[in-house]
Amino acid sequence: METKSYHIIFHIDMNAFFASCEIAKNPKLKGIPIVVAHDEPLRKSIVLTASYEARKFGIKTTMLTRDAIRLCPSVKIVEPHYEYYTYYSKMFFDYMDKYTKIVEPMSIDEGFFDMTALCDKIHPLELAKKIQNDLNNMGLPSSIGIGPNKFLAKMASDLKKPLGITVIRKREIDKMLWPLAIEDMIGVGKKTAPKLREIGIHTIGDAANYKDINLLKEKVGDAMADYILDRANGGGSNILSLPKPDDFASVSNSQTFEHDVNSILIMKDLLKNLLNSVCNRMERHNVVANNFGIQIKYSDFQMISRSTSINEATNDSYDIWPLIDELFEDNYDRTKYVRLLGVFANRCVKKSAQNKPYTLFDDLDKAEKENQVKKLLNKINNNLGDNAITIGIKEDTKASEVKPRFSALEDGNETSGN
Protein backbone atom coordinates (compact mmCIF):
# COMPACT_ATOMS: atom_id res chain seq x y z
CA MET A 1 0.00 0.00 0.00
CA GLU A 2 1.34 3.41 -0.99
CA THR A 3 2.14 5.75 1.88
CA LYS A 4 0.95 9.28 1.23
CA SER A 5 3.21 12.23 1.94
CA TYR A 6 0.15 14.30 2.86
CA HIS A 7 -3.09 13.85 4.78
CA ILE A 8 -6.61 15.16 4.27
CA ILE A 9 -8.38 15.30 7.61
CA PHE A 10 -12.06 16.16 8.00
CA HIS A 11 -13.41 17.47 11.30
CA ILE A 12 -17.19 17.13 11.32
CA ASP A 13 -19.14 18.85 14.08
CA MET A 14 -22.91 18.65 14.47
CA ASN A 15 -24.51 22.08 14.92
CA ALA A 16 -26.35 22.52 18.25
CA PHE A 17 -26.62 18.75 18.38
CA PHE A 18 -29.10 18.20 21.22
CA ALA A 19 -31.36 20.91 19.80
CA SER A 20 -31.04 19.48 16.29
CA CYS A 21 -32.10 16.05 17.54
CA GLU A 22 -35.14 17.54 19.27
CA ILE A 23 -36.08 19.41 16.09
CA ALA A 24 -35.64 16.24 14.02
CA LYS A 25 -38.10 14.48 16.32
CA ASN A 26 -40.47 17.47 16.48
CA PRO A 27 -40.27 19.69 13.36
CA LYS A 28 -42.60 22.24 15.02
CA LEU A 29 -39.54 23.41 16.98
CA LYS A 30 -37.72 24.46 13.81
CA GLY A 31 -37.01 28.16 13.49
CA ILE A 32 -37.83 29.14 17.07
CA PRO A 33 -35.48 29.77 20.01
CA ILE A 34 -35.21 26.62 22.12
CA VAL A 35 -32.94 25.41 24.91
CA VAL A 36 -32.50 21.83 25.98
CA ALA A 37 -32.70 21.84 29.78
CA HIS A 38 -34.66 20.29 32.63
CA ASP A 39 -37.83 22.31 33.06
CA GLU A 40 -38.02 22.45 36.84
CA PRO A 41 -40.13 25.05 38.71
CA LEU A 42 -37.33 27.28 40.05
CA ARG A 43 -35.52 27.37 36.70
CA LYS A 44 -32.20 26.54 38.37
CA SER A 45 -31.23 23.87 35.85
CA ILE A 46 -28.48 24.57 33.33
CA VAL A 47 -28.78 24.95 29.58
CA LEU A 48 -27.35 21.82 27.95
CA THR A 49 -27.48 23.41 24.52
CA ALA A 50 -29.30 26.20 22.72
CA SER A 51 -30.54 26.43 19.15
CA TYR A 52 -28.90 29.05 16.97
CA GLU A 53 -32.12 31.07 17.15
CA ALA A 54 -31.69 31.15 20.94
CA ARG A 55 -27.98 31.97 20.73
CA LYS A 56 -28.82 35.20 18.92
CA PHE A 57 -30.19 36.45 22.25
CA GLY A 58 -26.92 35.69 24.03
CA ILE A 59 -28.01 32.35 25.49
CA LYS A 60 -25.06 30.02 26.14
CA THR A 61 -24.44 26.48 27.26
CA THR A 62 -24.19 25.98 31.07
CA MET A 63 -26.12 29.21 31.64
CA LEU A 64 -28.93 28.97 34.20
CA THR A 65 -32.28 28.35 32.57
CA ARG A 66 -33.77 31.34 34.37
CA ASP A 67 -31.03 33.57 32.93
CA ALA A 68 -31.83 32.26 29.47
CA ILE A 69 -35.49 33.17 30.00
CA ARG A 70 -34.49 36.69 31.04
CA LEU A 71 -32.56 37.09 27.80
CA CYS A 72 -35.39 35.66 25.70
CA PRO A 73 -38.78 35.40 27.47
CA SER A 74 -40.23 33.47 24.51
CA VAL A 75 -37.55 30.76 24.57
CA LYS A 76 -38.99 27.24 24.68
CA ILE A 77 -37.52 24.83 27.22
CA VAL A 78 -37.28 21.28 25.89
CA GLU A 79 -36.60 18.36 28.21
CA PRO A 80 -33.55 16.31 27.14
CA HIS A 81 -34.20 12.93 25.53
CA TYR A 82 -30.90 11.08 25.71
CA GLU A 83 -32.09 8.10 23.73
CA TYR A 84 -32.58 10.44 20.74
CA TYR A 85 -29.04 11.80 21.00
CA THR A 86 -27.50 8.36 21.24
CA TYR A 87 -29.52 7.17 18.27
CA TYR A 88 -28.58 10.11 16.05
CA SER A 89 -24.94 9.88 17.13
CA LYS A 90 -24.87 6.24 16.06
CA MET A 91 -26.54 7.21 12.80
CA PHE A 92 -23.81 9.81 12.19
CA PHE A 93 -20.85 7.50 12.88
CA ASP A 94 -22.46 4.57 11.03
CA TYR A 95 -22.91 6.83 8.00
CA MET A 96 -19.27 7.98 8.12
CA ASP A 97 -18.09 4.38 8.46
CA LYS A 98 -18.76 3.80 4.77
CA TYR A 99 -16.23 6.50 3.88
CA THR A 100 -13.32 5.65 6.17
CA LYS A 101 -12.34 3.34 8.99
CA ILE A 102 -9.71 5.78 10.24
CA VAL A 103 -11.75 7.71 12.78
CA GLU A 104 -11.11 9.56 16.02
CA PRO A 105 -14.42 10.32 17.79
CA MET A 106 -14.21 13.43 19.93
CA SER A 107 -17.69 13.40 21.44
CA ILE A 108 -21.25 12.36 20.76
CA ASP A 109 -21.49 14.89 17.94
CA GLU A 110 -18.04 15.34 16.41
CA GLY A 111 -15.02 13.48 15.17
CA PHE A 112 -11.95 13.48 12.97
CA PHE A 113 -11.98 11.43 9.77
CA ASP A 114 -8.95 10.64 7.60
CA MET A 115 -10.17 11.04 4.00
CA THR A 116 -6.74 10.89 2.34
CA ALA A 117 -7.31 7.74 0.28
CA LEU A 118 -10.85 8.63 -0.73
CA CYS A 119 -9.85 12.09 -1.95
CA ASP A 120 -7.76 10.51 -4.72
CA LYS A 121 -11.10 9.83 -6.39
CA ILE A 122 -13.19 12.85 -5.37
CA HIS A 123 -12.31 16.45 -4.58
CA PRO A 124 -12.42 17.10 -0.80
CA LEU A 125 -14.92 19.97 -1.19
CA GLU A 126 -17.27 17.85 -3.29
CA LEU A 127 -17.04 15.05 -0.74
CA ALA A 128 -17.70 17.46 2.11
CA LYS A 129 -20.76 18.88 0.33
CA LYS A 130 -22.18 15.39 -0.20
CA ILE A 131 -21.60 14.42 3.43
CA GLN A 132 -23.07 17.65 4.75
CA ASN A 133 -26.13 17.34 2.51
CA ASP A 134 -26.74 13.70 3.48
CA LEU A 135 -26.40 14.50 7.19
CA ASN A 136 -28.72 17.47 6.83
CA ASN A 137 -31.32 15.17 5.26
CA MET A 138 -31.03 12.97 8.36
CA GLY A 139 -31.84 15.99 10.54
CA LEU A 140 -28.19 16.53 11.46
CA PRO A 141 -26.94 19.95 10.31
CA SER A 142 -23.17 20.08 10.50
CA SER A 143 -20.05 22.14 9.93
CA ILE A 144 -17.04 20.55 8.25
CA GLY A 145 -13.43 21.63 8.49
CA ILE A 146 -10.74 20.28 6.17
CA GLY A 147 -7.01 20.47 6.80
CA PRO A 148 -3.71 18.58 6.61
CA ASN A 149 -3.83 17.87 10.35
CA LYS A 150 -6.33 17.69 13.20
CA PHE A 151 -5.63 21.16 14.54
CA LEU A 152 -6.23 22.96 11.24
CA ALA A 153 -9.29 20.82 10.48
CA LYS A 154 -10.82 21.67 13.86
CA MET A 155 -9.99 25.37 13.49
CA ALA A 156 -11.59 25.29 10.04
CA SER A 157 -14.86 23.73 11.25
CA ASP A 158 -15.14 26.37 13.98
CA LEU A 159 -14.84 29.25 11.50
CA LYS A 160 -18.26 28.88 9.90
CA LYS A 161 -21.24 27.75 11.94
CA PRO A 162 -23.83 26.61 11.24
CA LEU A 163 -23.57 24.66 7.98
CA GLY A 164 -20.09 25.78 7.01
CA ILE A 165 -17.47 24.00 4.92
CA THR A 166 -14.00 25.47 5.34
CA VAL A 167 -10.53 24.46 4.17
CA ILE A 168 -7.33 25.67 5.84
CA ARG A 169 -4.09 24.80 4.06
CA LYS A 170 -0.72 25.46 5.65
CA ARG A 171 0.14 27.97 2.94
CA GLU A 172 -3.00 29.93 3.88
CA ILE A 173 -2.55 30.23 7.63
CA ASP A 174 -1.31 33.83 7.37
CA LYS A 175 -4.67 34.82 5.85
CA MET A 176 -7.08 32.44 7.59
CA LEU A 177 -5.49 31.69 10.96
CA TRP A 178 -3.25 34.56 11.96
CA PRO A 179 -5.91 37.32 12.04
CA LEU A 180 -7.95 35.40 14.65
CA ALA A 181 -7.88 36.45 18.31
CA ILE A 182 -5.56 34.35 20.45
CA GLU A 183 -8.61 33.15 22.45
CA ASP A 184 -9.84 31.46 19.27
CA MET A 185 -6.90 29.06 19.20
CA ILE A 186 -7.91 25.59 20.32
CA GLY A 187 -6.19 24.87 23.62
CA VAL A 188 -5.88 28.50 24.71
CA GLY A 189 -8.40 28.98 27.50
CA LYS A 190 -9.66 31.85 29.60
CA LYS A 191 -6.80 31.43 32.04
CA THR A 192 -4.01 31.46 29.42
CA ALA A 193 -5.27 34.17 27.06
CA PRO A 194 -4.83 37.11 29.51
CA LYS A 195 -1.25 36.04 30.18
CA LEU A 196 -0.53 36.07 26.46
CA ARG A 197 -2.10 39.49 26.02
CA GLU A 198 0.09 40.83 28.81
CA ILE A 199 3.16 40.14 26.67
CA GLY A 200 1.68 41.49 23.44
CA ILE A 201 0.17 38.35 21.94
CA HIS A 202 -3.32 39.39 20.87
CA THR A 203 -3.76 37.30 17.73
CA ILE A 204 -2.64 33.89 16.53
CA GLY A 205 -0.34 35.71 14.12
CA ASP A 206 1.30 37.49 17.05
CA ALA A 207 2.01 34.08 18.58
CA ALA A 208 3.35 32.63 15.32
CA ASN A 209 5.88 35.45 14.98
CA TYR A 210 6.73 35.96 18.65
CA LYS A 211 10.48 36.31 19.22
CA ASP A 212 10.93 36.36 23.00
CA ILE A 213 10.53 32.62 23.55
CA ASN A 214 11.96 32.75 27.06
CA LEU A 215 9.37 35.31 28.16
CA LEU A 216 6.60 33.23 26.59
CA LYS A 217 7.77 30.14 28.49
CA GLU A 218 8.00 32.14 31.69
CA LYS A 219 4.40 33.24 31.29
CA VAL A 220 2.70 29.99 30.31
CA GLY A 221 5.25 27.23 30.88
CA ASP A 222 7.48 25.31 28.48
CA ALA A 223 4.90 22.81 27.25
CA MET A 224 2.20 25.40 26.59
CA ALA A 225 4.66 27.74 24.89
CA ASP A 226 5.82 24.97 22.56
CA TYR A 227 2.20 24.08 21.79
CA ILE A 228 1.24 27.68 20.98
CA LEU A 229 4.24 28.27 18.71
CA ASP A 230 3.71 25.00 16.85
CA ARG A 231 -0.04 25.37 16.33
CA ALA A 232 0.17 29.06 15.41
CA ASN A 233 2.46 28.01 12.57
CA GLY A 234 0.03 25.36 11.34
CA GLY A 235 1.46 22.34 13.16
CA GLY A 236 -0.43 19.43 14.66
CA SER A 237 -0.83 15.68 14.47
CA ASN A 238 -2.34 14.02 11.39
CA ILE A 239 -2.50 10.56 12.96
CA LEU A 240 -5.89 9.32 14.14
CA SER A 241 -7.58 6.00 14.62
CA LEU A 242 -10.55 4.44 16.35
CA PRO A 243 -9.28 2.90 19.59
CA LYS A 244 -9.88 -0.80 20.04
CA PRO A 245 -12.15 -1.62 22.99
CA ASP A 246 -9.24 -3.29 24.78
CA ASP A 247 -7.31 0.01 24.56
CA PHE A 248 -10.05 1.89 26.40
CA ALA A 249 -8.46 1.87 29.85
CA SER A 250 -10.37 4.95 31.01
CA VAL A 251 -13.06 7.35 29.85
CA SER A 252 -13.70 10.82 31.25
CA ASN A 253 -15.56 14.04 30.62
CA SER A 254 -15.50 17.39 32.39
CA GLN A 255 -17.13 20.79 32.08
CA THR A 256 -16.19 24.26 33.27
CA PHE A 257 -19.09 26.44 34.43
CA GLU A 258 -19.61 29.81 32.80
CA HIS A 259 -19.63 31.27 36.33
CA ASP A 260 -18.50 29.66 39.59
CA VAL A 261 -21.48 27.99 41.26
CA ASN A 262 -22.52 26.64 44.65
CA SER A 263 -25.97 25.33 43.76
CA ILE A 264 -26.28 21.61 44.56
CA LEU A 265 -29.10 21.27 42.03
CA ILE A 266 -27.04 22.76 39.20
CA MET A 267 -23.96 20.70 40.02
CA LYS A 268 -25.88 17.43 40.21
CA ASP A 269 -27.62 18.25 36.96
CA LEU A 270 -24.24 18.62 35.28
CA LEU A 271 -22.82 15.50 36.93
CA LYS A 272 -25.73 13.49 35.52
CA ASN A 273 -25.10 14.88 32.06
CA LEU A 274 -21.37 14.13 32.31
CA LEU A 275 -22.04 10.60 33.52
CA ASN A 276 -24.45 9.98 30.66
CA SER A 277 -21.74 11.24 28.35
CA VAL A 278 -19.10 8.88 29.76
CA CYS A 279 -21.46 5.91 29.72
CA ASN A 280 -22.47 6.51 26.14
CA ARG A 281 -18.88 6.49 24.97
CA MET A 282 -18.32 3.24 26.86
CA GLU A 283 -21.47 1.79 25.33
CA ARG A 284 -20.40 2.70 21.82
CA HIS A 285 -17.01 1.05 22.30
CA ASN A 286 -18.57 -1.97 23.98
CA VAL A 287 -16.68 -1.58 27.26
CA VAL A 288 -17.66 -1.62 30.92
CA ALA A 289 -15.84 -0.54 34.07
CA ASN A 290 -15.88 -1.19 37.79
CA ASN A 291 -14.21 2.01 39.00
CA PHE A 292 -15.95 5.38 38.73
CA GLY A 293 -15.11 8.78 40.12
CA ILE A 294 -15.55 12.53 40.12
CA GLN A 295 -13.33 15.59 39.89
CA ILE A 296 -14.14 18.89 41.55
CA LYS A 297 -12.19 22.08 40.88
CA TYR A 298 -13.04 24.97 43.20
CA SER A 299 -12.90 28.68 42.44
CA ASP A 300 -9.51 28.85 44.20
CA PHE A 301 -8.27 26.23 41.67
CA GLN A 302 -7.97 23.48 44.30
CA MET A 303 -8.71 20.18 42.53
CA ILE A 304 -9.84 16.96 44.19
CA SER A 305 -10.42 13.56 42.62
CA ARG A 306 -12.33 10.76 44.34
CA SER A 307 -13.36 7.32 43.07
CA THR A 308 -15.03 4.12 44.20
CA SER A 309 -15.16 0.56 42.90
CA ILE A 310 -17.98 -1.94 42.42
CA ASN A 311 -17.89 -5.71 42.03
CA GLU A 312 -19.75 -6.02 38.72
CA ALA A 313 -18.45 -3.94 35.80
CA THR A 314 -21.10 -1.89 33.98
CA ASN A 315 -21.68 1.07 31.69
CA ASP A 316 -25.25 1.66 32.86
CA SER A 317 -25.58 5.25 34.10
CA TYR A 318 -28.76 4.32 35.99
CA ASP A 319 -26.75 1.92 38.14
CA ILE A 320 -23.68 4.16 38.46
CA TRP A 321 -25.42 7.39 39.45
CA PRO A 322 -25.88 6.51 43.16
CA LEU A 323 -22.09 6.02 43.39
CA ILE A 324 -21.37 9.38 41.76
CA ASP A 325 -24.01 11.09 43.90
CA GLU A 326 -22.52 9.62 47.09
CA LEU A 327 -18.99 10.65 46.10
CA PHE A 328 -20.18 14.20 45.54
CA GLU A 329 -22.14 14.38 48.79
CA ASP A 330 -19.21 13.00 50.80
CA ASN A 331 -16.50 15.16 49.27
CA TYR A 332 -17.98 18.50 48.17
CA ASP A 333 -16.96 21.40 50.43
CA ARG A 334 -20.19 23.39 50.74
CA THR A 335 -18.34 26.52 51.81
CA LYS A 336 -16.73 26.84 48.37
CA TYR A 337 -17.81 27.73 44.86
CA VAL A 338 -17.12 25.24 42.07
CA ARG A 339 -15.50 26.05 38.74
CA LEU A 340 -15.32 22.60 37.10
CA LEU A 341 -16.84 19.15 37.50
CA GLY A 342 -15.72 15.90 35.93
CA VAL A 343 -16.75 12.25 35.82
CA PHE A 344 -14.48 9.35 34.89
CA ALA A 345 -14.45 5.56 34.54
CA ASN A 346 -11.32 3.46 35.07
CA ARG A 347 -10.37 -0.18 34.50
CA CYS A 348 -12.48 -0.47 31.36
CA VAL A 349 -12.77 -3.94 29.85
CA LYS A 350 -14.59 -5.32 26.84
CA LYS A 351 -18.09 -6.43 27.71
CA SER A 352 -19.28 -9.85 26.65
CA ALA A 353 -23.01 -9.26 26.56
CA GLN A 354 -25.18 -6.36 25.46
CA ASN A 355 -27.41 -5.04 28.21
CA LYS A 356 -29.83 -2.16 28.14
CA PRO A 357 -28.64 0.89 30.09
CA TYR A 358 -31.20 3.41 31.28
CA THR A 359 -30.49 7.12 31.31
CA LEU A 360 -30.41 8.93 34.62
CA PHE A 361 -33.60 10.78 33.89
CA ASP A 362 -35.78 7.75 33.30
CA ASP A 363 -38.63 7.39 35.74
CA LEU A 364 -37.66 4.64 38.20
CA ASP A 365 -41.03 2.94 38.13
CA LYS A 366 -41.03 3.13 34.36
CA ALA A 367 -37.53 1.66 34.25
CA GLU A 368 -38.60 -1.29 36.37
CA LYS A 369 -41.69 -1.82 34.23
CA GLU A 370 -39.57 -1.72 31.09
CA ASN A 371 -37.22 -4.27 32.63
CA GLN A 372 -40.16 -6.60 33.23
CA VAL A 373 -41.38 -5.99 29.67
CA LYS A 374 -37.92 -6.80 28.35
CA LYS A 375 -37.90 -10.12 30.20
CA LEU A 376 -41.32 -10.95 28.81
CA LEU A 377 -40.28 -10.05 25.26
CA ASN A 378 -37.15 -12.16 25.55
CA LYS A 379 -39.31 -15.11 26.57
CA ILE A 380 -41.68 -14.54 23.62
CA ASN A 381 -38.84 -14.10 21.15
CA ASN A 382 -37.18 -17.28 22.39
CA ASN A 383 -40.37 -19.13 21.45
CA LEU A 384 -41.27 -17.25 18.24
CA GLY A 385 -37.86 -16.30 16.92
CA ASP A 386 -35.53 -13.35 17.30
CA ASN A 387 -37.10 -9.90 16.97
CA ALA A 388 -40.62 -11.24 16.71
CA ILE A 389 -41.53 -8.32 18.95
CA THR A 390 -39.31 -5.29 19.61
CA ILE A 391 -39.50 -2.09 21.65
CA GLY A 392 -39.26 1.22 19.84
CA ILE A 393 -40.26 4.88 19.73
CA LYS A 394 -42.81 6.11 17.26
CA GLU A 395 -40.97 8.14 14.65
CA ASP A 396 -42.05 11.69 13.85
CA THR A 397 -39.82 12.31 10.84
CA LYS A 398 -38.41 10.51 7.83
CA ALA A 399 -34.94 11.02 9.22
CA SER A 400 -35.07 7.85 11.27
CA GLU A 401 -36.74 4.67 10.15
CA VAL A 402 -34.95 2.42 12.64
CA LYS A 403 -36.03 2.55 16.24
CA PRO A 404 -33.49 4.12 18.60
CA ARG A 405 -31.69 2.10 21.22
CA PHE A 406 -32.00 3.16 24.85
CA SER A 407 -28.55 4.23 25.98
CA ALA A 408 -26.60 6.82 27.90
CA LEU A 409 -24.91 9.83 26.34
CA GLU A 410 -21.58 10.10 24.55
CA ASP A 411 -18.92 12.25 26.08
CA GLY A 412 -17.60 15.53 24.75
CA ASN A 413 -18.31 19.07 23.69
CA GLU A 414 -22.03 19.38 23.60
CA THR A 415 -21.94 20.86 27.03
CA SER A 416 -19.43 23.35 25.84
CA GLY A 417 -21.75 24.75 23.24
CA ASN A 418 -21.24 23.22 19.83
Give the active site residues: 110
Give the 3-state secondary structure of the chain: CCCCCCCCEEEEEECCHHHHHHHHHCHHHCCCCEEECCCCCCCCCECCEECHHHHCCCCCCCCEHHHHHHHCCCCEEECCCHHHHHHHHHHHHHHHHCCCCCEEEEECCEEEEECCCHHHCCCHHHHHHHHHHHHHHCCCCEEEEEECCHHHHHHHHHHCCCCCEEECCHHHHHHHCCCCEHHHCCCCCCCHHHHHHHCCCCEHHHHHCCCCHHHHHHHHCHHHHHHHHHHHCCCCCCCCCCCCHHHCCEEEEEEEEEEEECCHHHHHHHHHHHHHHHHHHHHHCCEEEEEEEEEEEECCCCEEEEEEEEEEEECCHHHHHHHHHHHHHHHCCCCCCEEEEEEEEECCEECCCCCCCCCCCCCHHHHHHHHHHHHHHHHHHHHHCCCCCCCCCCCCCCCCCCCCCCCCCCCCCHHHCC
